[in-house]
């Protein structure tokens, strides 16, 4: 074989190999086939490229340089091509993984099953919180009470018509179910010296049962007794409280009234939060809603509790919780509040 021919044979072999590689590569799509292809062509020991490189021994010395360059070109091409294929295969593999792990993000989440706190408890908490921030403590007392604590000490004498306004449940043992949380005020004043600032939430009972009245309902009462407590302080405290509870721009008005345990006494109205005082169905067109009763602690009550009314003064107020809860959660009547229908209770959120 002439020198030229030998060189030509060597070089044409490389062209053939290049074509063959491209043919084989075209048929490869998966990772395994790619791996086979890679080992067959650039495997360290038995790869075709290595064999071609080793074949340089049989090439004429004059042709070796050209042959060597040809094999290197082949090697570069094979390696480049394999790298490209690797990248493409990896991309396809990742895509497949991603696709198999993909979720419908709009499917429902798995909730830990949450319960709910009763609307009345929520409102009580809210009211108590405002007053604890103002430095009040929470005072509590018995629901089955004595006549003394529920009436007499609160300046409701025996056989007095003022008692008529509070239909009382009596117990067979001569006690009664408290008609207000005020007995807690009495118990506190009997056991402590001023200054006193307490808030008394709790259940109360009145013998009244219709669509608008429940025989059991909830009250929050407040009491502050110290030297120098004024009617202005009563107004200021109620204003601060009601603005926190309802709206920062809420307005109140005090109408003189009568309760045996306060003097002077007042009914407190808040400007209707539905129509902001313009007059609507909720406030019967008056622009005001009656909200609570309050007053300066009657000196007879202070005397009964051993607190000198010449030195100390105080204010007290009391409001129903249930109606506030009903308004807040749009509950149409008070009985619904105590039906305990889970479908309603579970809707109640903070």
Partner 1 sequence: MLFSKSWLSDYVELPADVQDIQRRLTAVGLAVEGLEERGGDTILDVDVTTNRTDCMNHLGIARELAVIYGSPLKRPEAQPEESTERVEDAAAVDVEDWEGCPRFVARVVKGVRIGPSPDWLRARLEAIGLRPINNVVDVTNFILWEMGQPLHAYDLAKLGGSRLLVRRAREGETLVTLDGAERKLNPELLVIADADRAVGLAGVMGGADSEVTDATVDILIEGAHFNRQHVRVTARGLGMHTDASHRFERGADPELCLEAVSRAAALIAEIAGGAVLAGAIDRRKEDFPPILQGRLDLGRLDAFAGASVPKEDAHRWLSGLGFQVKNGGPAWDVTVPSWRLYDFQPRPDGTAYEQDLFEEVLRHFGFDNIPAALPALSGSDAPKTPRQILREKVRDHLAACGHAETVHFAFQAEGMDKSFPSLRPEAKPLRLANALSDRYDVMRRSLVPNLVETARFNQRRGLPAVRIFEIATVFYETPESEVPDQPEHVGLVCGGHAGNPWNRETDLDFFDLKGVVESVADAVGVRLDFRPASLPGLLEGSAAELFRSDQRIGYLGRVAQEEAYPLYVAEVALDGLEGGDVSLQVEAPSRFPAIDADLTFTHSQDTPWAEIDRTIAELRPPDLVFWEMTVRYLGQGVPEGAVNTTIHFLYNSSERSLTQEEVNERQLALAAELQRRFGWKG
Token digits for 81?
A: 């091509």
Please select the residue that binds partner 1; options are 37, 154, 177, 184, rule is CB under 8 A: 177
Largest CA distance in the chain: 143
Please select the residue that binds partner 1; options are 7, 298, 323, 326, rule is CB under 8 A: 298
Nearer to partner 1 (CB atom), residue 59 or residue 337 = 337
Rounded CA-CA distance 173/157 in Å is 20
Please select the residue that binds partner 1; options are 142, 277, 279, 287, rule is CB under 8 A: 142
**Binding to partner 1, residues 32-91 (CB under 8 A):** none
Cα pseudo-dihedral 131, 263, 311, 193, rounded to 10 = -40
Instruction: With contacts defined by CB under 8 A, name the span among 2-10, 59-67, 75-83, 163-171 that binds partner 1.
Output: 163-171
**Binding to partner 1, residues 252-291 (CB under 8 A):** 253-258, 263-264, 266-267
Q: CA angle at residue 247 from 335 to 336, to 5 degrees?
A: 10
**Rounded to the nearest whole angstrom, what is the least distance from the CB of residue 318 to partner 1 in the complex?**
17
The neighbour count for residue 308, using CB atoms within 10 Å, is: 11
Taking Cα atoms as reference points, which of 186, 190, 216 lies closest to residue 202?
A: 216
Q: Does 203 bind partner 1 (CB under 8 A)?
A: yes
Token digits for 150?
A: 């529920």
**Rounded to the nearest whole angstrom, what is the least distance from the CB of residue 262 to partner 1 in the complex?**
10
**Rounded to the nearest whole angstrom, what is the least distance from the CB of residue 178 to partner 1 in the complex?**
10
Q: Does 170 bind partner 1 (CB under 8 A)?
A: yes
**Binding to partner 1, residues 101-140 (CB under 8 A):** 108, 110-118, 120-121, 125, 132, 134-138, 140
Cα pseudo-dihedral 153, 157, 161, 166, rounded to 10 = 30
**Rounded to the nearest whole angstrom, what is the least distance from the CB of residue 204 to partner 1 in the complex?**
11
Instruction: With contacts defined by CB under 8 A, name the span among 19-27, 29-37, 93-101, 162-170 that binds partner 1.
Output: 162-170
Count of residues that interact with partner 1, criterion CB under 8 A: 88
Nearer to partner 1 (CB atom), residue 67 or residue 261 = 261
Rounded CA-CA distance 62/82 in Å is 32
Token digits for 231?
A: 């009617």
Three-state DSSP state, 14: helix
Instruction: With contacts defined by CB under 8 A, name the span among 22-30, 56-64, 70-78, 166-174 that binds partner 1.
Output: 166-174
Three-state DSSP state, 248: coil
Q: Does 296 bind partner 1 (CB under 8 A)?
A: yes
Q: Does 5 bind partner 1 (CB under 8 A)?
A: no
Please select the residue that binds partner 1; options are 50, 81, 300, 328, rule is CB under 8 A: 300
Nearer to partner 1 (CB atom), residue 14 or residue 177 = 177
Q: Are the C-beta atoms of 311 and 227 separated by less than 8 Å?
A: yes
Beta-strand pair 176-177/144-145: antiparallel
Q: Does 198 bind partner 1 (CB under 8 A)?
A: yes
**Binding to partner 1, residues 218-257 (CB under 8 A):** 224, 226, 228-233, 235-237, 239-240, 253-257
Q: Note the Cα 67 to chain centre separation in Å.
A: 77
DSSP line for 265-306: EEEEEEE-TTTTTS--TTTTTSSEEEEEEEEEEPHHHHHHTT
Q: Does 200 bind partner 1 (CB under 8 A)?
A: no
Q: Does 213 bind partner 1 (CB under 8 A)?
A: no
């Amino acid at each position: 074989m002439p020198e030229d021919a030998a060189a030509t044979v060597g070089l044409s072999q490389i062209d053939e190999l290049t074509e063959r590689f491209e043919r084989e590569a075209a048929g490869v799509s998966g990772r395994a086939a790619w791996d086979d292809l890679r080992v067959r062509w650039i495997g360290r020991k038995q790869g075709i490229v290595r064999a071609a490189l080793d074949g340089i021994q049989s090439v004429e010395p004059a042709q070796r340089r050209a042959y060597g360059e040809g094999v290197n070109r082949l090697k570069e091409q094979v390696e480049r091509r394999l790298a490209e294929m690797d990248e493409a295969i990896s991309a396809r593999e990742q895509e497949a993984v991603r696709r198999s792990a993909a979720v419908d993000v709009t499917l429902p989440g798995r909730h830990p099953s949450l319960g709910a706190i009763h609307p009345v408890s929520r409102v009580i908490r809210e009211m108590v919180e405002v007053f604890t921030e103002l430095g009040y403590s929470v005072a509590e007392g018995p629901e089955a009470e004595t006549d003394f604590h529920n009436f007499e000490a609160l300046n409701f004498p025996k056989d007095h018509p003022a008692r008529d306004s509070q239909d009382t449940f009596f117990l067979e043992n001569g006690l009664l179910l408290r008609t207000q949380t005020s007995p807690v005020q009495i118990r506190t004043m009997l056991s402590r010296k001023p200054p006193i600032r307490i808030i008394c939430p709790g259940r109360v009972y009145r013998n009244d049962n219709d669509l608008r009245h429940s025989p059991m309902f909830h009250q929050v009462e407040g009491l502050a007794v110290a030297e120098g407590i004024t009617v202005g302080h009563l107004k200021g405290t109620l204003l601060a409280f009601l603005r926190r509870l309802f709206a920062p721009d809420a307005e109140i008005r005090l109408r003189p009234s009568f309760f045996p345990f306060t003097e002077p006494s007042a009914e407190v109205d808040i400007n209707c939060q539905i129509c902001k005082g313009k007059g609507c169905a909720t406030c019967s067109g008056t622009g005001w809603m009656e909200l609570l009763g309050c007053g300066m602690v009657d000196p007879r009550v202070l005397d009964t509790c051993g607190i000198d009314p010449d030195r100390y003064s105080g204010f007290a107020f009391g409001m129903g919780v249930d109606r506030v809860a009903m308004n807040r959660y749009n509950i149409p009547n008070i009985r619904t509040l105590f039906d305990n229908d889970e479908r309603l209770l579970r809707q109640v959120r903070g």
